[in-house]
Amino acid sequence: MHRQDWERLTRLFDEAAALPPDARPAFLARACPDEALRGELAALLAAHDRADDVLRPIERLTEASAGGSFAPGEQVGPYRLLDEIGRGGMGVVYRAEDTRLGRLVALKVLPPHLHAAIALRERFVNEARAVSALDHPNLCTLYEIGTHAGRLYLAMAYYEGETLQEKLARGPLPVPEALALARQMAEGLAAAHERGILHRDVKPANMIVTSGGCVKLLDFGLAKIAEVTQQLTAEGMTPGTAAYMSPERTRGEPADARADVWSFGVVLYEMLTGERPFPGDTAEVLFHAIRHDAPSPLTTRRPDVPGALAALVERLLAKDPAGRPASMREVARALAAFQADGDRRPRRRRAAILALGLLLLAAAAFFPYWQRVQADRARALLPEIERLAAAGAFAEAYALAERAGRHLGDDPALARLWPGITDVLTVASDPPGARVTVQRFDPGGAAQPVEVLGVTPLDGRRLPRGAYRLRLEKAGYAPHERVVSRFLFAPVIHVEHRLIPADSVPRGMVFVPGGRYRLRGWDVPDATPVDLGDYFIDRYEVSNRAFKAFIEAGGYRDTTYWRFPFVKDGRHLGRDEALAHFVDRTGLPGPRGWQNQTYPPGTADHPVTGVSWYEAAAYAAWAGKRLPTVHEWQRAARPDTTHPYGVVMPWGAMLPRENVARRANFNGHATVPVDTHPFGISPFGAYHMAGNAREWCANPMGSGFVAAGGAWEDPPYAFAYLGAFDGFYAASSLGFRCARSADPSAAPPVRPLPTNPPAPAYTPVDAATFEGFRTHYRYDPRPLDAEVVDVHESPDWRRETVTFTGAAGERLIAYLYLPRHTLPPYQTIVFSPPYPIYAGWYSIAEEVERSLAAHIRAGRAVLAVVPFGGLERPAPPDARFPDPRTVSYRNRAVQWALEHRRGLDYLATRDDIDSDRLAHLSFSAGGAKLLQPALEPRYRAILLTGAGLHPGDTLKVPEANPVHFLPRYAAPTLVLHGRYDEMDHLEVHVRPLMALLPEPKRLVVVESGHVPPADLRVPVIEAWLAETLGPVRR
């Protein structure tokens, strides 16, 4: 989560708060798919609703109605004002004379609404009474409270000195001085907490350091009233207050003494470093950092800070209150111990000097022994380093290796481990002198600090192995961001970048250097290289907010932006006839999913979708840009390389078992804001070029235009394919971004891409030969020894996790979903998942619950067997997908098929499953998955989505070649195909498959890409199941 997330959160809060409470849940579900962000928003709304009704009119008071200040010389009760010494959100502070006792006081006059609102006044008076009972040398003494001219005031002791804020403005404090002051603060807070009083606004501005070095804490209790009036939102919150708030308080959650503990930790960090741990210029930015970012390690910023003190500060700043010290008394004791240790050091010095001679003599004899002991201890760490490296915990392994290296030096055993746990980074920029920072990618989502590595040229910097977001900055030049990792750079990550003057880069765009480029990916239609000039491309997809500006500027009416002839189904259309297709749900010009030319609430920063190629081109012309060519788009989107064992994505190689959820929006439920997923950016700093919205490109292809990148509804490997869509086609998964040539006079030519070549002839073997192939898939019956090891209940289904014995004696894992709303025995869908499940990119249970939930709700059970290589059954780390021409590939296909068949054996043991009504359902059906239905006579129905035959299938080993298996299907087969499928083209890949299938069979074509969306897919599948299996039992 970052700054843009908080800006979006505040906008969503405003929209949701304006809705009736019963309408908010539906709005949140639609406008905020991110579960964590939705939870934060719900907390803010709850705090908003809990606020006293009396506060509503108070919020509307203007600064003018709050009243002005009193003037020096004026009498306020028994106090004569001398001069103003401070002013803040909760009032004005004066130095005043108590005319009764002749002493100086600090008089704080509070805003008039605290006196006008009865509830606030009573709450404030109660707080003040409790504070006045405190008697501690580190707490400011409160003499009395009173009223004057409709204003509440506080009379407090006046102290000569300066605030800690003023003191810190001169820089960090020496460690002994910081400890002395911090201990006093902790003692004062501990005394208040032990009387049940929280401060709630611990910050340097609320602490006086007297001329004698005594700390006095001010303003107890006032923060509680401020919280109520601000309703715990960022609105109205000053950065000076927000910077010290605990994570739970920023979320509007109830806070206890541990919130003061956190704020004290922020102050102590600032005392030691001179800077706050969480930087930011606005409350929104600070709130995001407080909740999600890790501060720079204290010992990195201040090496002379003792390690134990740094560890205490780290505990004080734990995001979870349970991880902080339990009380300020505990903190005070720890600081006292640190201080005492420091005080003892001078007293020890003389004895140490006297003993030094003896120690030196002893050390001469002892040092070799000590070295051996330390080396032995360091050597004992090597097995743990190896274990961590094998588990992929490279940062932890690196830390241990550095520790061991201090005593082992160039030890060969340690030297052997270094290459496996480190990356070596070299960075050069033109011009040199750019500041280099990196932030490590954590797959679990934990916030990692930003580390400054130095300035370019940077040569041979060693880092823990992993992926990093790298940033180059130099005054006067546009910053450059990208993600780097060893997977595409081994053995050295080498980055070179030409920096561009900031004033020459169009706003919101990134620079891409030209050069010779050819398309990469799977089944590219044209691999001929092209020469590209330098150009710029949008950093983000065009957003709903930006497209609305185009509409409001008359973009649909102005003919100058509509520069291309309209062609639909081979026929030229006039402008008015064409624009009649480009309307929203209310018939007004605009994206198909909008209403009244307005995007859905909460989606201003999502990519605009539901626009045709012609609308995208018109917007680009209006913006003074153009659509990128497919070569420009792909050059900006991905590294110009390949990888033997993974799919090359914008951030590098996507390897088996890598979950891309924190990198890109694939397999999602809807679009997300265009500025999210910073660790998925391209080599040139463009966001969401993989996933979120598929993007229009300028090039014609066939009868349509190219679209690239894959979308939120697709599997991740869709990024490697190019699709072609009719120019009038629009979908909730299809958007665009724009480009601009660095030299406006040198726009690139837009070459049409060829369509796929004709399909080869596929000739299956005869029946006798096929029976020989089938023998590879036979297995001896053996006991299943099935066991239900876990049960998960939900409103719509019961999910049982089952283990049973496979054909080769291995233990298999399966998920069985039993519907809630129908009666057993259940019809059952046996699911064959898409390729990412076999690669371990995510769980098969996740895929079932995302894609098949509607069928379970309709009353059908689902069985999903975890395949070898899946997330729950990982292949060995060195395993590679076998060459399809080899016996190894056949053996893998046999293994997967037998796993599938043993799942059917298990279903036969269940009384609640109707074994006569089983259906095979395969998503992204190709390759070895097409073999399974031919091996099983127990199916009553077969359904294939995203299926096709490819020329490469002719090369596969015959015993695992789908060409020979498709004619042997024994059940009625439905093939569901998206007309604009990027991977399986209707004429080239799908019709040859249909030709091999026996009757009965049916082909249904819908208006979609590779994975038809649920609203198109579910009705077709349900109708086929009802036709072949019959109605479910109600």
Contact 742, 536 (CB under 8 A): yes
**Residues 414, 408 contacting (CB under 8 angstroms):** yes
How far apart, in whole angstroms, are the C-alpha atoms of residue 130 and residue 192?
Answer: 10
Across the beta sheet with 861-865, the strand order is: 787-793, 797-805, 811-819, 861-865, 826-832, 913-923, 941-945, 973-978, 1001-1006
What residue spans of 381-393 are helical by DSSP H?
382-390
CA distance 1028 to 228: 63
Spatial CB neighbours of 126, under 8 Å, sequence gap ≥ 6: none
Q: Yes or no: say if 245 and 290 are a contact pair by the CB < 8 Å rule.
A: yes
The reply to whether 526 belongs to the active site is no
Number of residues assigned to the chain: 1034
Give the 3-state secondary structure of residue 146. strand
Distance between CA 379 and CA 645 in Å, rounded?
A: 34
What distance, in Å, lies between the first and last C-alpha atoms of the chain? 46
Structure tokens at 987: 């004429």
Question: β-strand 797-805 against 450-455: which pairing, if any?
Answer: unpaired
Give, in order, the Cα–Cα distances in Å from 948 to each of 375, 707, 805, 939.
61, 20, 32, 21
* Active-site residue (options: 49, 98, 135, 201): 201
* Residue 344: Cβ within 10 Å count: 10
Q: Say which residue the tokens 């005593």 belong to.
A: 407
What's the CA gap between 624 and 536, in Å, rounded?
12
- Asked if residues 262 and 247 have their Cβ atoms less than 8 Å apart, the reply is yes
How many CA atoms within 13 Å lie on the side-chain side of 175?
18
Whether the link from the prior residue into 825 is cis, omega within 30° of 0, is yes
Q: Which of 300, 330, 301 lies closest to 315 in space, CA to CA? A: 330
* Residue 191, CA distances (Å) to 179, 187, 257, 328 in order: 18, 6, 12, 9
Cβ–Cβ under 8 Å, residues 124 and 91? no
Cα distance between residue 156 and residue 109, in whole Å = 11
Q: Can you tell me the distance from the alpha carbon of 1034 to that of 1030, in angstroms, rounded to the nearest whole number?
A: 12
Beta bridge partners of 531: 516
Strand 468-473 and strand 480-484: the pairing is antiparallel
Answer for the pair 930, 997: CB distance below 8 angstroms, yes or no: no
Strand ranges across the sheet with 435-440:
450-455, 435-440, 468-473, 480-484
Contact at 8 Å (CB) between 234 and 287? Answer: yes
What residues are labeled active site? Answer: 201
